[in-house]
Chains A and B, each alone.
Chain A
Amino acid sequence: MEHAALHDITRDDSSLRRFLHGLPGVDQVGAEGRAAGLATRSIKTTAKAWAIDMAIRMVDLTTLEGADTPGKVRSLCAKAARPDPSDATVPAVAAVCVYPDLVETAVHALRGTPVGVASVATAFPSGRASLETKLHDVRDAVGAGATEIDMVIDRGAFLAGRYLQVFDEIVATKAACGDAHLKVILETGELATLDNVRRASWLALLAGGDFIKTSTGKVTPAATPPVALVMLEAVRDFAAATIGYGATATIGPGAAATIGPGRDLAGEIRGVKLAGGIRTSKEAVRYLVMVNEVAGDAWLDPRRFRFGASSLLNDLLLQRHKLATGNYDGPDYVTVD
């Protein structure tokens, strides 16, 4: 999208509202049907092995409890860098995700590994604090060495229609991040409708979020297939829109033909992170099918797609081992954190 067009959209609350409400609606029944249809794909043998390894590489291994301690975080980091101590072919996960005060511990524990350190910030999970406090939270985490920041949007402002306030907060947070990547948590369980999910996704993308993320994990429902579908459509369409034509302008077949599965992308590729409630390999593989068929190859990459999860990793390891050996080991054969 051209700079001028972006400037016009975000000039004031009403122009931003016009743009967001001008996005095509989402028919909930149809979106649920499409998500259910994609879930019928049968992923076996070599495809399953590929998908499990890809899913492991996409995990943000997460602990976000009041009871977290440096010891807990250190053991999580060890697991992140070497998910299966008995098998060196298992790839490392993408990142660990912790609260800001434990970033330093994680950075220390992960030194020399490819694993990133993500920190939630901005008065996670509710986001109910002044902007100054939120930004301070971000600077703390970045200062301690976080390479990725998972911020929450102000859902109250969004639901009240104060879109520009949400936009400005994301812009300010992005600025406070410096070189750290910014993931914008929409908390889709509180946004309630898929139309809202689409609008919030675009809002976060317009404001410069590197990733859009479903949930804090503290609200139910968290990541669901229809929500993931709509968010993947948003990053796909955003990439198409930034090739050089506006979202509301005419889209020529030639331009659109350059994106899609198996094609090169020229637009801005932003990521999607699903978090909360994804516990099994089967669910993870289904989401990868969705990424593959809705967004395309460019998103089958830990830089563009993540799973925020804690117990998922162990199930991926169990399924990986089962696929390789034919035996299902059970939970005593993977480490507990």
Chain B
Amino acid sequence: MADKLFEYAPAPESRDIARLRPSYQIFVNGGFRDGSGEAIKTINPADEEPLAEVAEAGPSDVDDAVTAARGAFRPWSALPGRERGKYLFRIARAIQERGRELAVLESLDNGKPIREARDVDIPLAAAHFFYYAGWADKLGYAGFGPSPRPIGVAGQIIPWNFPLLMAAWKIAPALACGNTVVLKPAETTPLTALVLAEIIAEAGLPPGVVNILAGGPAIGQAIVEHGDIDKIAFTGSTEVGKIIRRTLAGTSTRLSLELGGKAANIVFDDAPLDQAVEGIVNGIFFNQGQVCCAGSRLLVQESVADELVAALQRRLATLRVGDPLDKNTDVGAINSAAQLARIRELTEAGVQEGATRWSPPCELPERGYWFVPTVFTGVSQAHRIAREEIFGPVLSVLTFRTPDEAVEKANNTPYGLSAGIWTDKGSRILSMASRLRAGVVWANTFNRFDPASPFGGFKESGFGREGGRHGLEAYLDA
């Protein structure tokens, strides 16, 4: 839209802040080394240029890491909680101190807007370490008995949508409870986790307490199948979660899974509509919609549907799509070619099944993985775009007439991770929240996270909770 009066000049964050190095190494038993697997190039999804080379771990590295974690477990778990807490506080502070570097690196590696990395990912990652540092010496008061014991060695596999934040969600509670960990970041986004390894090393954490292995699905599988791991924590797709659960069936390895979602964002006719529009935008376009709890299904009461959709379309015209490092960018790049292909495939299916597709006018960069924010109206429960997780900036709009119908449609999904309710009526919020089969229910907001609030799913969205007091349970022998 070149004819705009107030055209924002480019405001790019400097790429140098990321202190990008030509190569990164895996972190095993307190030291950095090249993995025995292939050296892979991680690329910037915004322009498809290689960022750095990463030495992937091989099966022998998994063995070494598990052995190191096993060896470190006894002394680490024997430390007074107060001492473990000190390490976690130190890590939290170091994340804050290197916040800008981590934010730019995250934006480069993942494709997310610098605004989100800077204002959401990094501060929340630090907050998780601060929060669980506080629990480390108070575990006896958490409601799991007077002196709850840790589980042992935790194998943790995390996704590419919030690389550093997910590492924090996994590592902080595990360490607070006295476990040791072997963590594998996603293949496409290993960099911030490897910088976190540096922070952990500089914090003086005893060798072996945290091991970080870069690698693809084969390394994830090696961790899951290892045998000397006491607990697997996985965040990722439902498809892989099912494989992991099958693999671990009949073993004594504990498991927590945080998987996909197809959240309903339910807007009643008495909702604060301007704020609901913001919540819908934040619900589905935050992180390009690559969020397991994204509000990908908008359920709107028929009496306000036209008005709300019109307001939403007007708002979407102001979204700024493009260079993730520009401080004014609202929607960045899709993380990978594979993910982009999946989003395209499902949106094509939406068109073929008869839903109406709409996108704001918007120029996408020529190189890189981009997908324009998209809204489907006229969607029915039977459409694939209403049932399958798209994991992209694609919203399906459905309507309802009564609260009962809203609950029925919202729950009519194999998933159950999150939901949103928009209404001015407090009693309706409470009655809806109690009937929705979703682990997180937001009222008059969406995609709001806090380390003190437990997060997790129903049904195919997984089990176990992360965050809050509940998040301790996954790492305690309780």
Q: Are A26 and B272 in contact (CB under 8 A)?
A: yes
**Which of A30, A48, A293 interacts with B279 by CB under 8 Å?**
A30
**Alpha-carbon gap, A27 to B277, bound state (A):** 12
- Known A48-B9, A253-B306; contact A27-B4, beta-carbon cutoff 8 A: no
**Alpha-carbon gap, A54 to B270, bound state (A):** 38
Shortest distance from the beta carbon of B191 to any chain A beta carbon, whole Å = 24
Contacts of B270 in A (CB 8 A): 24-25
Chain B residue nearest to A54 (CB atoms) is: B6
Contacts of A29 in B (CB 8 A): 444-445
**Which of A25, A51, A300 interacts with B424 by CB under 8 Å?**
A25
A251 is an interface residue with CB less than 8 A from chain B: yes
Q: Are A42 and B424 in contact (CB under 8 A)?
A: no
Interface string of B1-23 (1 = CB under 8 A from A): 10111111111000000000000
Stretch from B75-83, B164-172, B179-187, B312-320 at the A interface: B312-320
Contacts of A40 in B (CB 8 A): 115, 119, 327
A71 is an interface residue with CB less than 8 A from chain B: no
Contacts of B273 in A (CB 8 A): 24
Q: Are A251 and B8 in contact (CB under 8 A)?
A: no
Q: Are B314 and A44 in contact (CB under 8 A)?
A: no
| Majority DSSP secondary structure for residues of B touching A | loop
Q: Are A24 and B445 in contact (CB under 8 A)?
A: no
Q: Are A43 and B9 in contact (CB under 8 A)?
A: yes
Shortest distance from the beta carbon of B363 to any chain A beta carbon, whole Å = 13
Q: Are A252 and B275 in contact (CB under 8 A)?
A: no
Q: Are B278 and A256 in contact (CB under 8 A)?
A: no
**Which of B8, B9, B313 interacts with A256 by CB under 8 Å?**
B313
A125 is an interface residue with CB less than 8 A from chain B: no
Interface string of A294-337 (1 = CB under 8 A from B): 00010010000000000000000000000000000000000000
Chain B residue nearest to A247 (CB atoms) is: B307
A130 is an interface residue with CB less than 8 A from chain B: no
Q: Are B278 and A30 in contact (CB under 8 A)?
A: yes
Contacts of B8 in A (CB 8 A): 41-43, 47
Q: Are A256 and B328 in contact (CB under 8 A)?
A: no
Interface string of A28-57 (1 = CB under 8 A from B): 011101100100111111111011001000
Contacts of A288 in B (CB 8 A): 6
Chain B residue nearest to A291 (CB atoms) is: B6
Shortest distance from the beta carbon of B90 to any chain A beta carbon, whole Å = 29
**Alpha-carbon gap, A308 to B280, bound state (A):** 34
Q: Are B306 and A262 in contact (CB under 8 A)?
A: no
**Cross-chain pairs A/B with CB under 8 angstroms, 24 sampled:** A25-B270, A25-B272, A26-B274, A27-B272, A27-B275, A29-B445, A31-B275, A42-B11, A42-B327, A43-B11, A44-B11, A47-B8, A48-B9, A253-B309, A255-B310, A257-B310, A261-B1, A261-B317, A262-B1, A262-B3, A262-B4, A288-B6, A292-B6, A300-B6
Residues of B within 8 A of A (CB): 1, 3-11, 115, 119, 270-275, 278-279, 306-307, 309-311, 313-314, 317-318, 327-328, 424, 444-445
